[in-house]
């Protein structure tokens, strides 16, 4: 226990404050989301529907016609208990090509991104600007991810699993890190500006 206290004491105060705020925000989010908002018609459903509709629309506008989206219910069996979950499906000429579950709507990456911005020291307006622009960019990346997955299903299905589990996730997280990097270029610590890079 003494070793842990010694290690914590060696961590600079601004970093301890950042980690403490991040942990607190994470706990608050998980309690609120798990307790009151999971599979919510006010948060998850509209966001999942938006991703599906935007993906289908983009596919139709880039020359791959016949795509539509539809909100559906499905029963997911978890540890022997049936639960109803909602998802959006994208159809190509009445044939289902892709399911977009609430877990894939981008909400978790939005919360992670916003949490980092909130915990970093900066002005309110700078944080607001980066939150809004970042969410728009990450939403666009998530829509492009879905379009890319559908393209692979249609033409190169052998690459679908790799792209779904690794390539497109890496793309989303890399984008998030790049935006964070731009935000963290000027960090205000103890009334001094520290420039990174």
pTM: 0.81
- How far is Cα of residue 188 from the mean position of the Cα atoms in its chain? 27
Q: Where are the beta strands (DSSP E) in 39-183?
A: 67-78, 81-92, 95-101
Q: Quick check: helix, strand or coil at residue 86?
A: strand
User: Is 4 within the bounds of a domain?
Assistant: no
User: Is 3 within the bounds of a domain?
Assistant: no
User: Is 7 within the bounds of a domain?
Assistant: no
User: Is 2 within the bounds of a domain?
Assistant: no
Q: What's the pLDDT tens digit per position in 115-174?
A: 999 988 888 999 999 999 999 999 999 999 999 999 999 889 999 999 999 999 999 999
Give me Rg for the CA atoms of the chain. Answer: 20
Domain membership of residue 51 as a residue range: 13-195
User: Is 132 within the bounds of a domain?
Assistant: yes
The answer to whether residues 21 and 84 touch, using CB atoms and an 8 Å cutoff, is: no
Q: What's the pLDDT tens digit per position in 9-30?
A: 777 777 777 778 888 888 888 8
pLDDT of residue 193: 45
pLDDT of residue 18: 79
pLDDT of residue 24: 87
User: Is 5 within the bounds of a domain?
Assistant: no
The answer to whether residues 142 and 113 touch, using CB atoms and an 8 Å cutoff, is: no
pLDDT of residue 57: 95
Q: What's the pLDDT tens digit per position in 32-82?
A: 877 777 666 778 888 999 999 999 999 999 988 899 999 887 765 545 544
What is the count of structural domains for the chain? 1
Q: What is d(CA 64, CA 104) in angstroms, rounded to the nearest whole number?
A: 23
User: Is 6 within the bounds of a domain?
Assistant: no
Nearest residue to 71 (alpha-carbon basis) of 44, 107, 93, 106: 44
User: Is 143 within the bounds of a domain?
Assistant: yes
């Amino acid at each position: 226990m003494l070793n842990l206290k010694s290690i914590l004491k060696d961590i600079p105060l601004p970093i301890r404050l950042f980690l403490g705020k991040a942990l607190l925000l994470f706990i608050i989010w998980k309690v609120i989301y798990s307790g009151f908002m999971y599979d919510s018609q006010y948060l998850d459903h509209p966001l999942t529907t938006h991703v599906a509709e935007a993906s289908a629309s983009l596919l139709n506008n880039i020359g791959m016609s016949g795509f539509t989206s539809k909100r559906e219910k499905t029963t997911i069996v978890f540890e022997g208990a049936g639960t109803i979950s909602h998802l959006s499906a994208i159809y190509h000429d009445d044939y289902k090509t892709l399911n977009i579950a609430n877990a894939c709507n981008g909400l978790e990456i939005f919360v992670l991104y916003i949490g980092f911005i909130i915990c970093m020291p900066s002005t309110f307006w700078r944080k607001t600007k980066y939150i809004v622009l970042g969410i728009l960019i990450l939403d666009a990346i998530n829509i492009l991810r879905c379009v890319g997955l559908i393209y692979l299903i249609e033409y190169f299905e052998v690459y679908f699993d790799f792209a779904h589990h690794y390539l497109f996730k890496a793309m989303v997280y890399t984008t998030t890190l790049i935006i964070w990097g731009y935000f963290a270029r000027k960090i205000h610590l103890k009334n001094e500006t520290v420039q990174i890079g």
